[in-house]
Amino acid sequence: MPTMESESSIVSRAEELKSSANEAFKAHKYSQAIDLYSQAIELNDQNAVYWANRAFAHTKLEEYGSAIHDATKAVETDPKYSKGYYRRGAAYLAMGKFKEALKDFQQVKRICPNDPDAAKKLKECEKAVMKLKFEEAIAVPVAQRRSVADSIDYRSIEVEPQYSGASIEGDTVTLEFVKKMLEDFKNQKCLHKRYAFQIVLQTRELLRTLPSLVDINVPDGKNFTVCGDVHGQFYDLLNIFELNGLPSEDNPYLFNGDFVDRGSFSLEVILTLFAFKCMCPSAMYLARGNHESRSMNKIYGFEGEVRSKLSETFVELFAEVFCCLPLAHVINQKVFVVHGGLFSVDGVKLSDIRAIERFCEPPEEGLMCEVLWSDPQPNLGRGPSKRGVGLSFGPDITKRFLQDNNLDLLVRSHEVKDEGYEIDHDGKLITVFSAPNYCDQMGNKGALIRFEAPELKPNIVTFSAVSHPDVKPMAYANNFLRMFS
């Protein structure tokens, strides 16, 4: 049995670890903070503060499933600890689970009836739930929805004589137009609605014809570049093109999902990628990420940004076009590229992915959900997702999938990495993330991968963030979520 003295030294050691974890958290070193809080919890798992603090660190890494688990532990340990409910409510909120969040903020208010901050957040949460109920009540069933794209005639939209921005002559998007548009965006000028409609509608036509899994052929001696999440960081996107050249027939790119949300220049990013797709379809390949969805865009800023810079019609149009994005790509029958990861069942073949009916909002389970949401784990087998959606898959799962489909490498994105990339699963899996200093606070580098045929050996290039105009990330996000940013 431990003596009183050894018990007190364990408690004080746990407190030291918590203090170190708090320092790491303040320095935005969230993974390090999680490790230190975990060590404190191992020594003393009856301290609700440790659980709630670790939950907060998980939230910062977008690991909302783990955050909910830890916050639940905090309130089980001490049912009167308001921060436990607060952290869990914030994590539910980030997942768009407003009704569950509301229950937790009601509990915070009960425990702290005189806390003005708790009252304010509860009121905002109540408003969000009311809005959700209203939207559900007036929603048209999916089967009866008419395509907004079919109702738009961009040619009938007048361009005012005083408009001096980038213009498309006729039906063809040219390099000259794209360069002028990029220059205008750089100077925070808007593109005329007529041309924005034209780009988005032409992109929709191109994407609709593609299968859910696209085969890419790179001729011998030619390069192909894969980029990860950009998340509305337009000025970092320009930097990628500065470092690696503009997209062209000879310099093709694949952007692997999560083009929008969080960063406050998401509209500029998506119009740029779509314009290159229109200019030369084989210069720009685009995959769907988990943020190319209505539910994410509603919370994380893209919907608000589009409404602010363009119109409600564009909100609907982008939601429609995002449902046309392919889910995966295979380069030269060797490299499998997908936004999230692998599957909860063995034996999935490329033909199964090609057969996915993708023209819908992402479901909460099944192959399409897993492609967009899953993450690798170091342990063998499969585990629950730290995000609360999808799953975690180990090196054996990666190896088996690659063997079953006669592939060499899995490339995915979806997770911020300090160096902009990470190689896992015995070198068979690479995560690439292309939004440096993510959300203006993570301090990470960005990365891209250049493959040269026929070897397709990954050549990873890293880069740092560049400055951008003083518009903060999440500037257009759901008002309630911004209160937690």
Q: Which residue has the tokens 């937790």?
A: 104
Return d(Cα 53, Cα 454) in angstroms, integer. 49
Return d(Cα 454, Cα 262) in angstroms, integer. 37
Measured in residues, the chain has a length of 485
Structure tokens, 342: 């692998």
Q: Is 282 left (phi over 0), alpha (psi -120 to 50) or beta?
A: alpha
The beta strands (E) that lie in 263-334 are given as: 284-286, 328-331
Cβ atoms of 240 and 270 closer than 8 Å = no
**Residue 391's closest CA among 336, 343, 338?**
343
Return d(Cα 10, Cα 39) in angstroms, integer. 11
Q: Is 21 exposed, middle or buried (0-12, 13-18, 19+ CB in 10 A)?
A: buried
Annotated catalytic residue, options 291, 329, 414, 468? 291
Cβ atoms of 105 and 89 closer than 8 Å = yes
Beta bridge partners, 412, equal 431
**Residue 276's closest CA among 307, 317, 241, 306?**
241
41-51 exposure pattern, b = at least 16 Cβ within 10 A, e = fewer: bebbeebbbbb
CA distances, 81 to each of 49, 93, 94, 382, 405 (Å): 8, 19, 21, 33, 51
The verdict on whether omega for the bond into residue 113 sits within 30 degrees of 0, i.e. cis, is no
Sheet holding 284-286, edge to edge: 284-286, 253-255, 223-227, 446-452, 459-463
- Catalytic residue flag (residue 414): no
Q: Which amino acid is at 125?
A: C
Which run of H or of E encompasses 137?
helix 116-138
Look up residue 149 and give its DSSP letter.
G
Q: Write phi, then psi, for 359 (nearest 5 degrees).
A: -80, 65
Q: Which residues participate in catalysis according to the annotation?
A: 291
